[in-house]
Amino acid sequence: MTAYTNLTGIPLSVALWLTTDDYDYDQRSNHISATTLLKPVRQIVLSARVPPQDAIPDIASLVPSRMGSAIHGQIEQSWLKRYKEGLIALGYPQKVVDKVRVNPTPEEAVGDIIPVYLERRAERHIDGYVVSGKFDFVADGRLEDFKSTGVFTYMSNSNDAKYIKQGSIYRWLNPDIITQDRMAIQFIFTDWSRQRASIERAKGYPQNRTLEHVLPLDSPAATEAWIRTKLSQITQYQTAPDELIPRCTDEDLWRKSPVWKYYKNKDKMSRSTKNFDTQGEANIRLAEDGYTGVVVEVKGKVTACKYCSAFPVCKQKDEYLKSGELEIEEL
């Protein structure tokens, strides 16, 4: 049984919910999940080296994941328990409703029906590993993934590459069920604002709290090649010293953009004269002022380490703590 801390003193009614973990863990030593495969090699390899006493999660950090599970669970239950009533309530004709089959067996999934699959786990054995994954939803051969997340994730497209890779692994695991080349992310925004939707419409701010985002899948051959490469890296660095393990990239680290600070007077560096988003803009201002000042690049802060399970043992993160590129708020 997993132990938890409750350092922020969350009241018992909510705390108990946060200790409820319905993930179907697999204890096989050569098992790896699709979601783990998407993580950086450093994170995967070093997470396994964290001593158990340093790997106790605090329940406050579990709120987003538990909210996600609650949404997934309720969507699944809606389809399992009352899809006929729901489809009729949405105005679908009876003849369409009669064609729907939820989680049909291969024998049932033939003929003129609309097959719908939910939360189905599949696995494949490859290069000494067992790769498994559980997709959210497939209807008529098209994969859908439910993501409860902030609007920024959608507007920045910051996770699209990951979503495509994850969806492609699910297709590689379920070629008989996922037959379409495109998938859909069903965003359920946790911080959507009606006011921002109105003000920032032209910037692409979503106009509703939910939004479908269609993405192409990689080919099964390309996906398998990617999986093999990733597995061979994991094997290669399994026991390697920290210094030899590939470093997390700025993208892995969710590093914010750098800022170029321009100081007009080199002798007064306590406050910059102006900050620029690009070095070019800062240099133009430097030239305009006759090259008497100075431009200093300030690297963007990194964020992913705060949520990384390898945090206690990772030396790359120590560098960022020392340089100030990573800031940890005290509880």
Query: Where along the sequence are the contacts to ligand SF4 (CB under 6 A)?
Result: 40, 42-43, 46, 248, 252-253, 304-305, 308, 310-311, 314, 316-317
Burial 264-287 (b: 16+ CB within 10 A, else e): eeeeeeeebeeebeeeeebeebbe
Cβ proximity of 263 and 273 under 8 Å: yes
Minimum separation from the CB atom of position 246 to ligand SF4 (A): 10
Would you say 262 or 320 has its CB closer to ligand SF4?
320
Q: Which of 284, 144, 118, 287 has the alpha carbon at shortest distance from 212? A: 144
Would you say 200 or 250 has its CB closer to ligand SF4?
250
State the alpha helices, DSSP H only, in the chain: 12-18, 34-37, 41-47, 63-89, 94-97, 151-156, 160-173, 194-199, 220-237, 279-288, 315-323
Would you say 178 or 245 has its CB closer to ligand SF4?
245
Minimum separation from the CB atom of position 140 to ligand SF4 (A): 38
| CA dist., res. 146 & res. 193, Å (int) | 20
Would you say 68 or 312 has its CB closer to ligand SF4?
312
Q: What are the beta bridge partners of residue 132?
A: 33, 123
| CA dist., res. 82 & res. 199, Å (int) | 38
Minimum separation from the CB atom of position 244 to ligand SF4 (A): 14
Would you say 224 or 318 has its CB closer to ligand SF4?
318
Q: How many residues does this entry show for the chain?
A: 331
Minimum separation from the CB atom of position 4 to ligand SF4 (A): 21
Would you say 152 or 307 has its CB closer to ligand SF4?
307
Minimum separation from the CB atom of position 162 to ligand SF4 (A): 14
Cβ proximity of 162 and 169 under 8 Å: no
Q: What is the separation of C-alpha 110 from the centre of its chain, rounded to a whole number of angstroms?
A: 35
Would you say 199 or 307 has its CB closer to ligand SF4?
307
Minimum separation from the CB atom of position 242 to ligand SF4 (A): 9
Would you say 136 or 252 has its CB closer to ligand SF4?
252
Minimum separation from the CB atom of position 321 to ligand SF4 (A): 10
Would you say 122 or 305 has its CB closer to ligand SF4?
305
What backbone phi and psi angles, to 5 degrees, belong to 254?
50, 45
Minimum separation from the CB atom of position 119 to ligand SF4 (A): 28
Minimum separation from the CB atom of position 43 to ligand SF4 (A): 4
Q: How far is the CA of 58 from the CAs of 7, 11, 62, 63, in angstroms?
A: 7, 13, 7, 10
SS3 (DSSP) at 41: helix
Cβ proximity of 231 and 36 under 8 Å: no
Which contacts of 235-244 are long-range, i.e. CB under 8 A and separated by 24 or more positions?
235/128, 237/41, 237/42, 237/45, 238/45, 240/45, 242/46, 242/313, 242/314, 242/315, 242/316, 243/315
